[in-house]
Structure 1
Amino acid sequence: MICALGAAVCFGTATVLQAMAAREAASAGGGTGDGGTGGGAGADAALLLRAVRQWRYLVGLALDGVGFLLQIVALRSLPIYAVGAALAASLAVTAVVAARLLHVRLSRVEWGAVGVVCAGLAMLGLASGAEGDRAGSIALKYAMLGTAVGVLLLGAAGGRLPERGRALVLGLGAGFGFGVVEVAVRLVDDLAVGSLLRNPATYALLVGGGAAFLLLTSALQRGSVTVATAGMVVGETVGPAVVGVVWLGDRTREGLEWLAVLGFVVAVVGALALARFGEAPEGGA
């Protein structure tokens, strides 16, 4: 659980640092920094090149890498439902760090949501058992690969939707992709090169992760941050949790099933209340 929470801290802090670097880069280049309006792909590429020269952006990338490693460790030790809820809590970290570094004003409701997320994670920590001991079937591995490919197709179709529905569909698709990564990590049981190359879960992890980042980036650029992030939170928590319980044997401590369910719901609902922090907001007045 410490690793899962550490991953959430890394991801949440990285979001704010990268947002700060992107704004400095946009200011230096005289642009708006808004990938969804005005400039085209060339302007976005130029902004990215300026951003990677900022130390905050590089620190953010390093934190993302550390967070991913901590996520892998957590997924090898905890039920998927606990790790997924902890990762959704990165929105609470982003909110708190944004309030400190970007001087964003959090409402009382949002501060309450931060507390709700923490309470939900505390309940999950008390109720979670060890990871399931079932080996994933070959059918499940191919199902994850098929889902990852489906996420790519969903992105192609979702990009043609009207603006109102586009952000939700792309955000959900991104969540499904990140969910594939969570499950695929558990399905990779042999790290030998030959076994990795023969394991469909390896390709599911790569395709799902890549597709998730592409869809999330598109959703944040071309629609509502709040809607896209809410869709992502639902997609990356609920589905993988069900897979872990039904097919991989994830369980709770004896007699604490109710506490795990309550903690999961509370943590996810609290994260949804903080969905606008899926992309760190502009500095508050």
Structure 2
Amino acid sequence: MICALGSAVCFGTASVLQAAATRAIAPGTGSGVDPGLLLRALRQWRYLVGLALDGCGFLLQIVALRSIPIYAVGAALAASLAVTAVVAARLLHVRLSRVEWSAVGVVVAGLAMLGLASGAEGDRAGSTALKYAMLGTAVAVLLAGAVGGRLPDKPRALLLGLGAGCGFGVVEVAVRLIDDIAPKALFTNPAAYALLLGGGAAFLLLTSALQRGSVTTATAGLVLGETIGPALVGVAWLGDRTREGLEWLAIVGFAVAVAGALALARFGEAPVTEDLEHATTP
């Protein structure tokens, strides 16, 4: 759980830097999913530092996923929005309302309940069908991005955010489906390709969603996509369970943590102050 929370800290801080970088980039033309946008973002040092934090967060996420149930890790990752809100308040001088500070407290309370209730990771080996299902889901995420890019602003933001969340959800499940990291085993494991494709598609969709449309709507879709689906897969197919007699606490804690994260959805795009823009202009 400590690794899951450390991952949330890395992802939450990275969001502040990446959102500031993507908003400083001139938008492309045509579809809302612009691969060139990601290439332009890579020229921004803030985006690169954010990617480095994302890398650290991903390593911590892997450790967490190999130790505790997916539902606990997913809720912790959704809590990265609480981290983003606090970082934005401290570094960017963004004012949080009492309701938003309360939402941060709600997220912390939900995670505390999950920490008390969650057991060890499930001991079921994922079937071959589940591995191919994850690969198919990753492909579907890319297709959803292509369709979503042609929709009006509001539904486009929701679909891009939900698609990004599903892509990150594929990564969460795929990590549990990779038991052997020997090169030969990786090359023949559909889950390895699902992890790469799902993660890459999620980054592309999320980068586009950060710059275009309603970021609050996109982030709400992101939270739902990366928590609910993977949690259900972990319980139904991978054997994730709670400590005996604490199922109710895990359900309440999960719901509370996700609800608090949704209340902080506007921090999917950390506002950039004028002072920060002057201080960080390359």
The structure-2 alpha-carbon separation of the partners of 1:162 and 1:257, relative to structure 1 and needing over 3 Å to count, comes to: same
Once the 2 structures are TM-superposed, how far is the Cα of residue 102 of structure 1 from its aligned partner? 0.2
Alignment of 1:191-270 (within 5 A): 191-270=181-260
Task: Give me the whole-angstrom Cα distance separating, in 1, the residues matched to 2:116 and 2:227.
Answer: 19
* Residues in 2 aligned to 1:49 and 1:200: alpha-carbon distance in whole angstroms: 29
Residue 221 of structure 1: how far off its partner (Å): 2.0
Per-residue CA distance 1:241-272 (angstroms, 9 max, x = gap): 00000000000000000000000000000000
1:71–1:46 CA distance, 2 compared to 1 (3 A):
closer
Could you say which residue in structure 2 is the equivalent of 1:109? 99
272-281 or 115-124: bigger deviation: 272-281
Amino acid at match of 1:132: G
Deviation string 1:159-214 (CA, Å, 9 cap, x unpaired) is 11121211111111111110000000000010110000000000000111111111
The answer to whether 1:126 aligns with 2:119 is: no
Cα deviation, 1:52-99, whole Å, max 9, x if unaligned, reads 2xxx54433321111010001100001000000000000000000100
Kindly, what percent of the aligned residue pairs are identical?
81
Matching of residue 75 in structure 1 with residue 68 in structure 2: no
Please give the secondary structure, in 2, of the residue aligned with 1:152.
helix
Kept in 2: contact 1:105–1:284 (CA 8 A) = no
Matched, 1:35 2:21: no
Question: Over residues 118-175 of structure 1, what are the superposed CA-to-partner deviations in whole Å (9 max), with x where a residue is unaligned?
Answer: 0000000000000000000000000000111111111111111121211111111111
Amino acid at match of 2:71: Y
Alignment of 1:40-189 (within 5 A): 48=41, 50-52=43-45, 56-189=46-179
Shift of 1:283: 2.8
List alignment gaps of at least 5 residues for structure 2. 276-282
Query: What is the TM-score when the length of structure 1 is the normalising length?
Result: 0.89
SS at match of 1:129: coil
Shift of 1:18: 3.8
Q: Which runs of 4+ in 1 moved over 6 A?
A: 40-43
Residue 17 of structure 1 corresponds to 17
Quick one: distance in 2 between partners of 1:45 and 1:157? Answer: 18
Query: 2:13 is aligned with what amino acid?
Result: T
Deviates more, 1:214-223 or 1:273-282: 214-223
Q: Which residue in 1 is equivalent to 2:8? A: 8
Q: How has the CA–CA distance of structure 1 residues 4 and 47 changed in structure 2, closer, same or farther, with 3 Å as cutoff?
A: same
> RMSD of the TM alignment (CA)?
2.3
Paired with 2:134 and 2:265, the residues of 1 have a C-alpha distance of 26
> Could you tell me how far 1:45 is from its partner in structure 2?
7.4
Aligned residues: 273
2:88 & 2:56 partners in 1: Cα distance? 20
Counterpart CA distance in 1 for 2:140 and 2:147 is: 10
The residue identity in structure 2 corresponding to 1:14 is A
Query: 1:48 is matched by which residue type in structure 2?
Result: A
CA distance in structure 2 between the partners assigned to 1:280 and 1:91 by the alignment? 10
TM-score by length of 2: 0.90
Q: 1:12-34: CA deviations, max 9, x gaps?
A: 112223445667xx4xxxxxx46
